Structure 1
Amino acid sequence: MADRAKDNTDEPADFETAIAECGFGLFNVFILCSAVPCLTAMVFSASALSYVMPSAECDLDLSIVDKGMLHAVTYAGMIISAVPWGFIADTIGRRPVLISGGWLDGFFVLCASLSQNTAQLMAFKFFDGLIICGPFAVVVSYLAEFHGKKHRPYIMLFVGLCVSIGSMILPLLSYLLLPVPILFTVSSMKFRTWQVFLAVSSAPSLLSGFLHIFLPESPKFLMSQGNYKKALDSLQRIYKLNKRKSRESYPIKHLTDPTPDRSDDLDGTGRPSTLQERFSRAQSKFIDGFKQLKPMFSSPYLAISLQVYCLHFCQIMCVNSVRLWLPQIFATMNAMDTLGANDTSMCAVLEHNANAKSMDEEEKRVECALHHDPDSYLNNITVAGIGLVGFLIIFPLMRFQVVSNHILKVFLFICIFLVGSLYFVKTSLVTMMVSAVYLTMMGICATTIIGMSVVIFPTLMRTMVLLLIMTFGRLGSVSGNMLLPVFMQLSCLAPFLWLCSLMSIAFLFSLFLKVDDEQSLN
C-alpha cells in the first residue's frame, strides 16, 4: 500500500489536483488581502472625479461638456492600454504587471492632484486610466489561478465585494475630507481640498504595488508557459504556508499540462545568456504571444466573446451614465433645496446643470459654497451602502443554479424600467432609492459577466479576453459620458429614452449566455 501511495505521488498531476493539495489557508488570506487595494484603486480611478467635480468645477470653471470629457478621459486611457496590458500579462506574467502597474498608477494619481488647470487634470487622469487598466484585469485572473474549483466561484464574490467596499469608502472619504476648507500655496501653485482628496486616493495603488512584491507568480500561468519547475516551486510555497509543513512534504512531485516542459530554457539555468540569446528569447515570447490570440478569432470563442463584448458595452454605458453623474446630481439637488427652489425633479436638475455656464458670478459663488456642504455627500454614501448590502444578500444565493442561470437576464429586464423611472422622480429621496437599486443590480450583472468569462476562456487568453470585455465596457463609458451632455441639452426625455433602449439591447444579449462556473480552468 505504501509503495502504491508513493507511485501515485510520482505521477504527474494537473493544475486542479496540484492546487487542491495546497488547501486554503494563510497564503490565500494574504493574496486576497493584497488584492483589496488593487480593486479599490480601480474604483478610485474610475469614480474619484465624480466626487471632485462639484468642487473642482468652481476652481476650474468647467462647462457640462468639460465634465463629460473629464469623466470620459480616464476610460479612454484604459481603452488604449487594454491590448498591450493583456499581451504583457499573458506573455511575461501576472506579478510584474501588478507590481509595476500599482506604483506607476499611484505616481500619476499624485501628479493629477498637482494639476492647476483642466488640461493638466485631463492629461494625468488619462495616464491614470492607461496604467490602472492592467492591474485590475490581471488581479482577477491572478486570484482565479491560485484557487481550485472548490473556492474559485467565491473569487468573483470577493472581487465584487471589494469593488462595493471601494465604492463605499469613496463617498465616506468625500464626506470627511471635501467639506474641509483647505487652501495653501507652494511657489506659484495653489492647492485646494479636492487636490488633497486626489492625493489621498493614490494610496491604494501604491499599497497594491508594494504588497505584490511578496507574492509568487501564478502557478497556472507558469504551467501554461511550460515552466513546470517554477510552477512547482510556487505550489510548494503555498503548501508550506497553508499546511505549516515543509516544502519537501508537498505530495505532488511532477506537473502536467498540454504545454511542453521548457523549464531550463525559461529559467536560464546553466551558463549566462548572451545578448543575442536574450533577444531571441524575447522575440520568441513576442511571436508566441500573437499565436495565443489566434483561438480568440475561431469557434467556439469568437461567437460567445462577441455576445459578451456587446452586452458589457451596452450595460456599462448605461450604468456609468448614471453612476458618474450621480454625485453632481445630488450636489445640485442639495443646492437647489437649500436655495428654496420649487422644482427639484430630475428634469429641473439636468436643465440647471446644462445652463450652469450662464449663471452670474454671485450665483456661482453661492452654489459653489453649497457644494461643500457635507449633506450633499450623504445620498452618495446611502447609495453605496445599499449597493454593499444588496451585494452581500444576492451573491451567496449565486451558489444555487436556478439563481446563477437567471439572475443576469432578470436583473437587466428590471433595470430597463428602473432607469426609465428616473425621468419621473421629483425628490432627492426617490432619486436616491431608485438609483441605489438600479446601480446595485447593474453592479451584480457586471460582476456576473466577468465571473462567467474567467471560466469560459483558457489561461493563455484569459487576461486578454477580460481586458477586451472591460475595454468594450469602457468604450461604453466614454461614449456615454460624451453623449449624455448632448442629450441633456436636447431635452429632458432624450437621455432616458436612450438609456432604456441600451438596457433593452443588453437584456436581449443576456438571453443567450449560459456558463458553468465550477468547470475546470483550461
Structure 2
Amino acid sequence: MAEVEAADFETAIAECGFGLFNVFILISSVPCLTAMVFSAATLSYVMPSAECDLKLSLLDRGMLNAATYAGMIFSAIPWGFIADTMGRRVVLICGGWLDGFFVLCAAFSQDFLQLMVFKFIDGLIICGPFAVVVSYLAEFHGKKHRAYVMLFVGLSVSVGAMILPLMAYCLLPVHIFFNVGQLQFHTWQIFIAITSLPSLLSGFLHMFLPESPKFLMSQGNYNKALISLQRIYALNNRKSRDSYPVKKLTDATPDRSDVINNPNPRRSRQERYKLAKKKFCDGLMQLRPMCSSPFLGLSIQVYCLHFCQIMCVNSVRLWLPQIFATMHTFRIRGMNDTSMCAVMDHNTHGRPIDTKSMEEECDIVASGSGYVYR
C-alpha cells in the first residue's frame, strides 16, 4: 500500500479498514445504549411493587416517571458543551461511572423523595453518554460503514428494551426482603441495583478505547489524532503502527498540537473562568442558525414531530406495567370490568386503605402471572 503523505479524516479513517477494533467499540457501546433504556423505563416496571412500600399515589408515580426525563432536558446543552470541549471519551467514562453510582443510590432509597431525586440525577447524567456514544461510533467509522453503525445503534436500543421486561419477569416476582441496619431492601430495589450494571460496564470498557480522532482534529491536535488512527490500523490489520500509510492529517482547523501538548504556564482563576465562559458562549452561538431563517420553520416542525412521537410512545410504554398489574389484580379478585376507565379509577381512588388489604394486593401485583397474557 502506497503511503499517503497528507489525508483528510475520511481518507485516513478509510485506510484503517474494519476489523477487531471496530468490533470491540461496537460491543463497548451496547452497555451505554442499554443503560439509556434502563434509566428511562426501569421505574415503570418497579412501581407496581414499590408503590406499596413507598405508599405512592398516582401523582407520585407520574412524577417518578417524569423525573428521569426532566434530568435529560436540563442537561442536554451542558453535556453537548462538555463533549465538544473536553472530548467524547471523558464523557463516556465519567458519565458511565457516575450514572452507575447514582442508580445504586436510587436502589438504596427508602422513600419517594429520595427515589425521585436520584432518578432525576440519573437522567441528568445518562443524557451525556447516550448522546456522545452515537457521535463516538460514527467518528470511528468511514462512510462505507457509518450507515450500518446507525442501524446497530437502533438494534441495541431495541435489545435493551427487550431485556428489561425479561429481567422484570424473572426477578420482580421473587420475594426478597432483608435489613441492613436501619435500611430495608425489597425485590424492586435489587432490580434497580442490577440496572446499574450497564452504566458501570460502559464506563469500564471505554477506558480501553482512544479519544475520537475526529474530535482531536477539530481541536487542532493532529499528533494525537494520528496516534489514535495508527492504533486502529494496527488492531484491524495486525500490522505495526509505523506501517500506517497516512503520515500527515489535514483539516480546516489549524494544527495546534504543540500548543495543546505543551500548555502555557498556569493561568489564574480569573483567566480560566473567562476562557470557560467564552467557550460556553461560542457553543451557544452554534445553536443560533436553528433559531433564525431559513432553518427556524424546519426546526419547529422537526421539534414538534419528535415531541409528539416521544410523548405517544412513552404514554403507553411507561404505564403498561401498571395497567397490566391492575388488570391482573382484577382477574384474581374475580372482577369482570377490566376496561381502561375501571383500571384508571382503581389506580386513582380504589386502592385499599387498611394495611392487611394493601399487603394482599401487593402480593397479587408482584406475582409473575402479571407479566404473561392469558
TM category, shorter: over 0.9
Q: Which amino acid aligns with 1:229?
A: N
Structure 1 residue aligned with 2:57: 63
Q: Is the helix fraction higher in 1 or 2?
A: 1
Structure 1 residue aligned with 2:189: 195
2:24 to 6, 24, 30: 30
Q: Report deviation, 1:236.
A: 0.8
Higher mean Cα deviation, 352-361 or 319-328? 352-361
The answer on whether the counterparts of 2:81 and 2:283 sit within 8 Å (CA) in structure 1 is: no
Quick one: distance in 1 between partners of 2:356 and 2:276?
Answer: 62
Quick one: distance in 1 between partners of 2:128 and 2:189?
Answer: 25
Query: What is the number of equivalent residue pairs in this alignment?
Result: 371
Match status 1:77 vs 2:71: yes
Q: Report deviation, 1:301.
A: 5.0
1:294 to 285, 288, 291: 285
Quick one: distance in 1 between partners of 2:164 and 2:60?
Answer: 22
The answer on whether the counterparts of 1:99 and 1:212 sit within 8 Å (CA) in structure 2 is: yes
RMSD: 2.0
Deviations 1:252-273, CA, capped at 9 Å, x for gaps: 11111111111111122xxx74
Structure 1 residue aligned with 2:42: 48
Identical-residue share of aligned pairs (%): 68
Quick one: distance in 1 between partners of 2:74 and 2:235?
Answer: 39
Structure 1 residue aligned with 2:112: 118
Q: Report deviation, 1:129.
A: 1.0
Structure 2 residue aligned with 1:340: 334
Quick one: distance in 1 between partners of 2:180 and 2:68?
Answer: 27
Change in Cα spacing, 1:232 to 1:356, as seen in structure 2 (3 Å) is farther
Quick one: distance in 2 between partners of 1:163 and 1:354?
Answer: 32
Structure 1 residue aligned with 2:151: 157
Quick one: distance in 2 between partners of 1:293 and 1:216?
Answer: 27
Q: Which amino acid aligns with 1:141?
A: S
Deviations 1:33-63, CA, capped at 9 Å, x for gaps: 1111111111111111011100000111111
Match status 1:221 vs 2:215: yes
Deviations 1:452-487, CA, capped at 9 Å, x for gaps: xxxxxxxxxxxxxxxxxxxxxxxxxxxxxxxxxxxx
Structure 1 residue aligned with 2:249: 255
1:324 to 318, 335, 338: 318
The answer on whether the counterparts of 1:91 and 1:285 sit within 8 Å (CA) in structure 2 is: no
Structure 1 unaligned blocks of 5 or more = 380-428, 430-522
Quick one: distance in 1 between partners of 2:32 and 2:210?
Answer: 16
Higher mean Cα deviation, 153-162 or 25-34? 153-162
- What aligned pairs does 1:270-281 form with structure 2 within 5 A after superposition? 273-276=264-267
Match status 1:313 vs 2:307: yes
The answer on whether the counterparts of 2:138 and 2:146 sit within 8 Å (CA) in structure 1 is: yes
- What aligned pairs does 1:375-386 form with structure 2 within 5 A after superposition? 375-378=369-372
1:174 to 133, 146, 168: 168
Q: Which amino acid aligns with 1:352?
A: H
Q: Which amino acid aligns with 1:368?
A: C
Quick one: distance in 2 between partners of 1:177 and 1:217?
Answer: 38
The answer on whether the counterparts of 2:213 and 2:224 sit within 8 Å (CA) in structure 1 is: yes
Quick one: distance in 2 between partners of 1:217 and 1:279?
Answer: 29
Q: Which amino acid aligns with 1:178?
A: L
- Other structure's SS at 1:276 match: coil
Q: Which amino acid aligns with 1:22?
A: C
Structure 1 residue aligned with 2:12: 18
Return the TM-score normalized by structure 1: 0.68
Q: Which amino acid aligns with 2:20?
A: L
Change in Cα spacing, 1:170 to 1:64, as seen in structure 2 (3 Å) is same
The answer on whether the counterparts of 1:295 and 1:301 sit within 8 Å (CA) in structure 2 is: no
Quick one: distance in 2 between partners of 1:303 and 1:20?
Answer: 37
The answer on whether the counterparts of 1:63 and 1:357 sit within 8 Å (CA) in structure 2 is: no
Q: Report deviation, 1:189.
A: 1.2
Structure 2 residue aligned with 1:439: none
Structure 2 residue aligned with 1:417: none
